[in-house]
Amino acid sequence: MLVVHAAFPIDSDQRETALNHVQTLAEKSRDEDGITDYRVATDVDDGTLFRFFEQYADEAAFEAHADSEHFAQFADVLPELLAGEPEVTRFEVDTATAVEL
């Protein structure tokens, strides 16, 4: 399983536009084969920082997502939305279990 965490600092003047693009990307991504989960949230300390939490069944699913039309559309508009450099971290995970609280 692959897990990706990405943080995108969004220009405050572009927040609403970015939110629309991110919602479309997330909705279409969750419909892809091999994507176990795909969520986007705004940071509680900075409402212009969008955090992506992505879980893929395998490398093929990750590559298919990167090659998808909706990802390409998002990548095309992303430079005009950013207020800084994105940070992306990829994790290769052997096991995952739910934690009871």
Can you list the domains of the chain with their CATH numbers?
2-92 (3.30.70.100)
Phi-psi region of 36 (alpha: psi -120 to 50; beta: other; left: phi over 0): alpha
Q: Which amino acid is at 43?
A: D
Q: Are 14 and 80 in contact (CB under 8 A)?
A: yes
Pull the structure tokens for residue 4.
């990706």
Q: How far is CA 71 from CA 51, 61, 68, 88, 96, in A?
A: 16, 13, 5, 15, 26
Global pTM reads: 0.92
Phi and psi at residue 25, to the nearest 5°? -60, -50
Q: How far is CA 6 from CA 49, 85, 91, in A?
A: 10, 11, 11
Which pLDDT tens digits describe the chain residue by residue (101 residues)?
Answer: 999 999 999 999 999 999 999 999 999 999 999 999 999 999 999 999 999 999 999 999 999 999 999 999 999 999 999 999 999 999 999 999 999 99
